[in-house]
Structure 1
Amino acid sequence: MPSHILVIDDDPVQRRLLAGMIEQLGHVAHHAENGRTGLSILEELGERIDVVLLDLLMPEMSGQAFLEEIGRRGLDVPVIVQTGQGGIETVVHAMQAGAFDFVMKPVTPERLTVALHQAMKVERRHDDATRMAEPASDDIGFESIVSASPAMIRALDLARRAAASDIPVLIEGESGVGKKRLARAIHQEGRRAGGPFVVVDCAALAPALAEAILFGRERGIGAAVRLAGKFRDADGGTLLLNDVASLPTTVQAKLLHAVQFGEIEPVNARNPVKVDLRLMVSSGRDLITEVREGRFREDLYYRLSVFPIAIPALARRREDVPALVRHIVRRLAVAQGHEGVGQGIDAGAMALLTAYDWPGNIRELENLLYRALILAEGRELTVRDFPDVAARTGPIGLRSVAAEGMSARLAGTTAPQEQAASGKLSILGVSEAGRNDAHSGREDGTIAGLDATGEVRKLADVEEDLIRFALKFYRGQMSQVARKLGIGRSTLYRKLKDYGIDPDNPLSSAA
């Protein structure tokens, strides 16, 4: 569904420009020539407005006055202020009055896109928190998590054990693997199931507002309204801090205090406030690496990682793909009223989806199935319903020479033993549709095993060539490159620095 954006600006030309940008992004734009008219629209449309884009300098009611008024009225909507004058002091005052973000005039489409995206993430999170505060239903427990792989079954076993207590849980895994869903299942199966389940997306928090959003804010100088904060919203239930590594270090210090003493310190408050909740955190980054590189507090890490649970990427648990596909297709078909279309999936399409690497994990799988279901014309989904996956996967069943010698023989390529004798190791092995030797940046798609003198090359030199090749082959997708090389992203970035490799042009300095 498109989001509804309210543009408040006294300049009609500026309103039209902003409305055009918003509509090009697929959203609906509403117009107001001043703050007073904007208030009337906001009161009339209520929760339909997802974000307000506000000019600060206007007649009748300025942007600052508008912010203060919606605070007094208790209207909870993210506001992005735009200013061309007044400098940083004007912006600071607007942020103190409750603005979510700001943009400088003239705003570019790219900057507006980012600002709206961040604001809408916060709005969705608020909606989620409101829904989650209601008693959880049976479809969000462990039984709703589909899994057939040993790695995921082990993770679910750990999660069930964690649900039996209030122990702090750290859920690690790539984006889209289902960290929030697992946390919700732990909450649902625990003794706090009747309490609220509140999720905070730490990456979406504006640094200047993170402390107030988490711990609350009492009335004081520069504070238009009092905020309870997410910790108090989750009192008696569970608070999940998603992407906890994104928190500013100053907020990490207050989080450590909250974990240690079971109390929070709201902004402007004279005394701490006791809270009774279960805290869970999740991270798509390796927190140990974040600690080593000074971006995450070591003492906080050991407080939060009492019970770590790692969710493997979908590419590492392909056994789950068929079960997930059938489960998601069945659920979406019922939810979207497509009982006569796309109720199943044929063998060819299932093989295609199982062969795909799924860099976006389960989130990507669900989105692609949703799109395919909408466009499907028959009762079964087929390969034709997944053109993007087919283009990126190539012929199913073919693997590299290093992995499957049979595939090499079928393709007529040189056997590994013969390649070793020639001093060259084939990297591609089998050409796949859409992936050929040209992607390696070298004419033959090989990496030499011997140097110019006939001696075996140093391991570091071969490693450098392999990293350059992988970057070119996977078109700079760092997560996929790291996964295929079997190393962490932080290790990959360190090696890029050591070898002086430009990830945007990996072959630029290759020999």
Structure 2
Amino acid sequence: MSKPTILVIDDEKNIREALRQYLTMEGFDVQAAEDGADGLNKFQTLLPDAVILDLRMPKIGGMEFLTKAFAAKEHVPIIVLTGHGGVDEAVECMKRGAYDFFTKPPEMDKLILVLRRALDESGRRERQNDLELMIDERFRFDNIIGNSAPLKKVLDTVRQIAPTDATVLVSGESGTGKELIASAIHNNSRRSKGPFVKVHCAALSETLLESELFGHEKGSFTGAIARKRGRFELADGGTIFLDEIGDISAATQVKLLRVLQEHEFERVGGEETLRIDIRVIAATNRDLHAEVNAGRFREDLYYRLNVINLRIPSLKERKEDIGMLASHFIKIYSKKHDKSITGISPKALKLLEAYDWRGNIRELQNLIENTVVLSKANEIQPESLPSNIRNYQGKKDILIEIGAPLSEIERRAILVTLESADGNKSLAARILKIGRKTLLRKLEEYGMKVSGDEGEKDDNT
């Protein structure tokens, strides 16, 4: 293991040399500088593991050194040395990020103790940062666009469950990106080098789905002219994604339950039992619990699938992501159709954010492609959008998380109402059924400007 590098900066030669000798005896690699400018130059070159810094020096003082050092290496431990009259300044240094301070001359044993503790804490922080960087590199979700709180919550869960082999049930409305999430789970799992096999259960009849999932032997039914390997067999060593799992028949449910329980099955018309090693991710736009209560879906299969339930938010629950998604699709379809659309205007984006998006991301994607193809301008304008978007008169939703404090619920209601009133405070107050002065007082509490609206009449309520 390499020795930690300690940079000693002090304009007093006796103290500087004493520290150099003592630290070298304690097993450190010591570099020294006689003033702040020399010290900063060596710091930026060496990027040492820790610094022992005299507070008052020529050329560059301790305070200035701290600022410039932390800009080069954010969390480096810096221990400040000061004379008896400089304690207040040393305390100020600690407020600015210094690890500790000693008055001169320092008590060497205590200094070494504090230095080793600082290096240990710094090492732990660096290891944690390296780990987080490694995780971020491994868990990149390049095709999942958005920065909203609901999406972040989903991705946090994906990061937790991806390395495991737990069965996952992905639920959500059509068009929300369930397959994309399933793919992210697989790509960031230990099975990522294995196959990722997708089956759209709703697209196949019961007979065809059974053959597709489990395979069949030659002659097992009319048209079975050769043996066929099923999707479960093809997914061995990897992940199978069963989309629209709520649409499978009762008979197929029984066979699927056996695969989940025993990891074995037979091909249609076959007698050989095949064992597989797979992870199952299923998806549905139905309420499977309600399907169980209605007797249309097996309860035991539901619990086998629902080990981890991952609900994907609808687009109207993450409207703050619409701008990023729109820009992403504009870039894709401008390139595909050889157009030079550079973006979307604020007014056009506001229309998109106000729309209901029952088809979710798929509907937005389709609309952006249509608009890119037909647009004559370099930027999507309101007039470029279809009439159903321009003329949409839906109510504006306010999303409230369970457990949100009343003060936060009140704040959101006020701000959303003010936005819908185009910033007109008197109108917003009337909609909220509160006095205008009450509204202004609340806005002041939220740190907003409360200058009167032009043409508005004050009231005393």
TM-score (norm 1): 0.50
Please list, as runs of the form range in 1=range in 2, the aligned pairs for 1:375-394 lying within 5 A after superposition.
Answer: 375-394=374-393
Contact 2:220/2:268, CA 8 A, preserved across alignment:
no
Q: Aligned partners of 1:377, 1:158: CA distance in 2, in Å?
A: 42
Q: Aligned partners of 1:243, 1:370: CA distance in 2, in Å?
A: 26
Q: Cα deviation per residue 1:99-124 (whole Å; 9 max; x = unaligned)?
A: xxxxxxxxxxxxxxxxxxxxxxxxxx
Pair 413,389 (structure 1): closer, same or farther in 2 beyond 3 Å: farther
Q: Aligned partners of 1:164, 1:384: CA distance in 2, in Å?
A: 47
Residue equivalent to 2:323: 322
Letter in 1 for 2:341: G
Residue equivalent to 2:146: 147
Pair 205,362 (structure 1): closer, same or farther in 2 beyond 3 Å: same
For structure 1, list consecutive stretches of 5 or more residues without a partner in the other structure: 1-137, 419-511
Pair 410,367 (structure 1): closer, same or farther in 2 beyond 3 Å: farther
Q: Aligned partners of 1:414, 1:385: CA distance in 2, in Å?
A: 34
Pair 288,398 (structure 1): closer, same or farther in 2 beyond 3 Å: closer
CA offset at residue 357 of structure 1? 1.2
Please list, as runs of the form range in 1=range in 2, the aligned pairs for 1:277-426 lying within 5 A after superposition.
Answer: 277-338=278-339, 341-394=340-393, 404=417, 407=421
Greater mean alpha carbon deviation, residues 143-152 or residues 215-224: 215-224
Contact 1:167/1:306, CA 8 A, preserved across alignment:
yes
Q: Aligned partners of 2:349, 2:206: CA distance in 1, in Å?
A: 44
Q: Aligned partners of 1:210, 1:395: CA distance in 2, in Å?
A: 40
Contact 2:316/2:356, CA 8 A, preserved across alignment:
yes
Q: Cα deviation per residue 1:154-174 (whole Å; 9 max; x = unaligned)?
A: 101111111111211111110
Contact 1:211/1:251, CA 8 A, preserved across alignment:
yes
Letter in 1 for 2:214: F
Q: Cα deviation per residue 1:392-435 (whole Å; 9 max; x = unaligned)?
A: 41499899x998488499889986869xxxxxxxxxxxxxxxxx
Pair 140,356 (structure 1): closer, same or farther in 2 beyond 3 Å: farther
Q: Aligned partners of 1:413, 1:276: CA distance in 2, in Å?
A: 62
Residue equivalent to 1:13: none
Pair 337,299 (structure 1): closer, same or farther in 2 beyond 3 Å: same
Please list, as runs of the form range in 1=range in 2, the aligned pairs for 1:85-234 lying within 5 A after superposition.
Answer: 142-223=141-222, 224-225=224-225, 226-234=227-235
CA offset at residue 178 of structure 1? 0.2
Secondary structure of the residue aligned to 1:144 is coil
Pair 198,388 (structure 1): closer, same or farther in 2 beyond 3 Å: farther
Q: Cα deviation per residue 1:299-354 (whole Å; 9 max; x = unaligned)?
A: 0111111111111111011111111111221222233332xx21211111111111
Q: Aligned partners of 1:251, 1:417: CA distance in 2, in Å?
A: 57
CA offset at residue 201 of structure 1? 0.8
Q: Aligned partners of 2:309, 2:190: CA distance in 1, in Å?
A: 20
For structure 2, list consecutive stretches of 5 or more residues without a partner in the other structure: 1-136, 399-412, 435-461
Pair 141,248 (structure 1): closer, same or farther in 2 beyond 3 Å: farther
Pair 176,271 (structure 1): closer, same or farther in 2 beyond 3 Å: same
> Max radius of gyration: which structure?
2
Pair 348,383 (structure 1): closer, same or farther in 2 beyond 3 Å: same
Q: Aligned partners of 2:391, 2:261: CA distance in 1, in Å?
A: 48
Secondary structure of the residue aligned to 1:279 is strand
Contact 1:169/1:281, CA 8 A, preserved across alignment:
yes
CA offset at residue 140 of structure 1? 11
Contact 1:140/1:181, CA 8 A, preserved across alignment:
no
Please list, as runs of the form range in 1=range in 2, the aligned pairs for 1:2-151 lying within 5 A after superposition.
Answer: 142-151=141-150
Letter in 2 for 1:307: I
Tell me how large the CA RMSD over aligned residues is: 3.1
Q: Aligned partners of 1:231, 1:287: CA distance in 2, in Å?
A: 22
Secondary structure of the residue aligned to 1:145 is coil
Q: Aligned partners of 2:397, 2:166: CA distance in 1, in Å?
A: 46
Pair 141,417 (structure 1): closer, same or farther in 2 beyond 3 Å: closer
Contact 2:351/2:390, CA 8 A, preserved across alignment:
no
Secondary structure of the residue aligned to 1:164 is coil
Pair 141,241 (structure 1): closer, same or farther in 2 beyond 3 Å: farther
The count of residues paired between Structure 1 and Structure 2 equals: 278
Secondary structure of the residue aligned to 2:286 is coil
Letter in 2 for 1:275: I
Residue equivalent to 2:259: 258
CA offset at residue 382 of structure 1? 0.8
Secondary structure of the residue aligned to 1:143 is coil
Identity %: 37
Residue equivalent to 2:5: none
Secondary structure of the residue aligned to 1:312 is coil
Letter in 2 for 1:235: D
Secondary structure of the residue aligned to 1:253 is helix
TM-score (norm 2): 0.55
Pair 392,218 (structure 1): closer, same or farther in 2 beyond 3 Å: farther
Letter in 2 for 1:208: T
Pair 196,336 (structure 1): closer, same or farther in 2 beyond 3 Å: farther
Pair 159,272 (structure 1): closer, same or farther in 2 beyond 3 Å: same
Contact 2:417/2:432, CA 8 A, preserved across alignment:
no
Q: Aligned partners of 1:395, 1:278: CA distance in 2, in Å?
A: 42
Letter in 2 for 1:296: F
CA offset at residue 386 of structure 1? 0.9
Pair 155,210 (structure 1): closer, same or farther in 2 beyond 3 Å: same
